[in-house]
Structure formats: C-alpha cells, structure tokens
Amino acid sequence: MSTQPQERDRYVALSGGVGGAKLSLGMAHLLGERLTIVVNTGDDFEHLGLHISPDVDTAIYTLAGVVNPVTGWGRRDETWTFMAALQRLGGQAWFKLGDADLATHVERTRRLRAGETLTSITAHLAQSFGVKSRILPMCDEPLRTVVETDQGPLAFQDYFVRAQCRPIVRTVRFDGAESAQPSPQVRAALSDSALAGIIVCPSNPWLSVDPILAVPGLREAIRASGAPVIAVSPIIAGNAVKGPTAKIMRELDLQPGAASIAQHYAGLIDGFLIDSEDCALADTIAMPVRAARTLMHSLDDKVGLARECLDFCAALKLARGREARATGVPS
C-alpha cells in the first residue's frame, strides 16, 4: 500500500499569512481544487473606512502568483501613488496599501456593506484571480486578535505593523470569539468523507493559528473529521523563519523550539513535521514526528514540503489502520 495521495483525496490547510501561504501554494500545485485553505481573519481590521483581510489577501495573491515576491504580502508590480497622495493630505500612512491592492479592499468593503458574507466575497475574489483551490475565511463573524502587552492591549495590526512587534506579549485574546462559528463551508470541508488530512501550516501558533482554533466548534470539527492532523513547525533551530514567533515564545516563558510548538498543539495534532536541522529533537516530542526541509524559497521547496505533508498524513492514516487491525478496532 502506497502513501501517495489518492486522486480523490481532499485536504484542509489552516493558515496565517506569509509562511502559511507559501506551503498552501505548494499544496495547491499538487491538489488544485482538492485543497481548502481555512485562513485566519483575526488580523482583519477597518482602516481608512476599508475592511482589510491581510491573511486572506496574502493567500489569494500567493496562490494567484501575483504576490510581491520580496515581502511575501501585497502585490507584485505595485504602484504607490495613493499612499503618497494620502500622506500629503495628512492621512494615516502606517499601513501600506498599494494602488492595485486597494482595489481588493474597496471591492470587499463595498460587497460587505451590501450584505455579502466574507466567505462569498473571498470566493469571488479568488475566482477573479483564477485561484483553483478554495480559500475560506475561518468564520464570517468578526473575531479580532488583541495582544495584551506591557504597553496595554493592542489591536493586532497596532501590535504587528504600527509597533512592529516591539511590545512584550503577556497574553493573546480573541474579541468576539463567543459570537463566531465555523461557516457552513468550513464545516463542509472538515466533514467531507474524502478528507485525507488536515495540515496546520508553519504560521505563528499564538497569533495566526490560535485565532482559527478560537472559533467555537472548529477544534471539535477538526477532531471529529477523523482525518490525520499534522502541524509544520514554524521554528528552525530555535529561530522563527519569519516574524516574532521566537520572541513571543520567550515572552510567554516558553523555550523557543519545535518541542514547545508540538506541546502547544497537543490534543489537536497526530503528527508534527520539524525541520531536518531539528532531527535531534524528535525524541523529545511525544507524538509521531517527521523531519524535512521546511525553508521555502523556491516553488520546488514549497511543493517538496507540501509532498512531505501529504505523505505524512497518508503514513499516519496507514499506521492508524495497522494499529486498528492489530487491536481489532475498525479504522
């Protein structure tokens, strides 16, 4: 029996911004429309009267091949005339909005005001960009990530962009979580009988994945799916590939390393994929571990890591089947 993904197998990825979008792109190359990406919207905010969904846009732009390859967010071949003009009018310029990017925010905001759901708008945008995989906001209700810091509570973008992650993180909370629920589309993706694996992308667990898991019922729906759940470590040799993950871990009194990340996801995941550099840590992690190259520079890197993820899911399923046969429990 092979561990190769089957033609009808479907997969769900949970993703934050840049790192998650990179792995999603790799998976999209292998799976096309058989991939559903559930994207963090805890970073969403109202700015200049526009509804901005940074992680959703990063997913769309990355999968559409129009993302800025230098920053990993925003659009390539962008112009900045709006921003320069706004600055001259004394407008708020701390959050950079390119001219083409702005079209996405204006169109999304217009449709939201007209009563469309974020899920439906995201589907329209992704389709306009020719994206085959399904990109789903984690929920349609506002759930806002608030970072409690030594300088008081900060809305996510105030912490992340305006304060450039400098404040010391005490804890992270998710305002509005109690009123949120997985959208019908997210529920359907997680209860699909062809679901062969759920991949938690190498995004920041506290800032990017926890908001997804904070949607009431979503964690339960993941477990109830019966599909193998794996996470990819966003930490290599104690350092974050990008962003403040390691800094936040230290501030939360955690050892910045793959083991702490695995611990954070305990009870949710069945297997943990670490970087080859961290091979020696495998024994310290109390679950199945696979090591692979997790740095993703080229498209080949992304597709390669995606293949490892799908293969790991298949291997976990196979092992579960063997175990069930050994113990007489039906798989």
Cβ atoms of 21 and 67 closer than 8 Å? yes
Q: Which is nearer to a second copy, 79 or 151 (CB)?
A: 79
Q: How far is the CB of 157 from a second copy (least distance, A)?
A: 16
Q: Which is nearer to a second copy, 115 or 267 (CB)?
A: 115
In the block, tokens 């046969």 appear at 325
Q: Which amino acid is at 297?
A: H
Angle (nearest 5°) at CA 222 between 240 and 177: 75
DSSP H helical ranges for 182-328: 184-190, 210-213, 218-224, 245-251, 258-264, 299-327
Question: Do β-strands 169-175 and 144-149 pair in parallel, antiparallel, or remain unpaired?
Answer: antiparallel
Q: How far is the CB of 102 from a second copy (least distance, A)?
A: 5
Q: Which is nearer to a second copy, 2 or 81 (CB)?
A: 81
Tell me the Ramachandran region of residue 152: left when phi exceeds 0, alpha when psi lies from -120 to 50, beta otherwise.
left
Q: Which is nearer to a second copy, 104 or 204 (CB)?
A: 104
Q: Which is nearer to a second copy, 125 or 180 (CB)?
A: 125
Q: How far is the CB of 128 from a second copy (least distance, A)?
A: 5
Q: Which two tokens stand for residue 237?
A: 């040799």
Residues that bind a second copy (CB under 8 A): 48-50, 75, 78-79, 81-86, 88-91, 98-104, 106-107, 109-110, 113, 124-125, 128
Q: In whole angstroms, what is the distance from residue 270 CA to residue 211 CA?
A: 20
Question: Residue 1: helix, strand or coil by DSSP?
Answer: coil
- What residue ranges in the chain does DSSP mark as E strands? 10-15, 35-39, 45-47, 50-52, 134-137, 144-149, 152-155, 169-175, 195-200, 229-232, 235-236, 239-240, 271-275, 289-292
Q: How far is the CB of 132 from a second copy (least distance, A)?
A: 17
Q: In whole angstroms, what is the distance from residue 74 CA to residue 102 CA?
A: 10
Q: Which is nearer to a second copy, 49 or 69 (CB)?
A: 49
Cβ atoms of 41 and 16 closer than 8 Å? no
Q: How far is the CB of 129 from a second copy (least distance, A)?
A: 8
Q: How far is the CB of 195 from a second copy (least distance, A)?
A: 31
Q: Which amino acid is at 146?
A: V
Question: Do β-strands 45-47 and 50-52 pair in parallel, antiparallel, or remain unpaired?
Answer: antiparallel
Q: Which is nearer to a second copy, 90 or 328 (CB)?
A: 90
Q: Which is nearer to a second copy, 92 or 276 (CB)?
A: 92
Q: How far is the CB of 99 from a second copy (least distance, A)?
A: 4
Q: How far is the CB of 88 from a second copy (least distance, A)?
A: 6
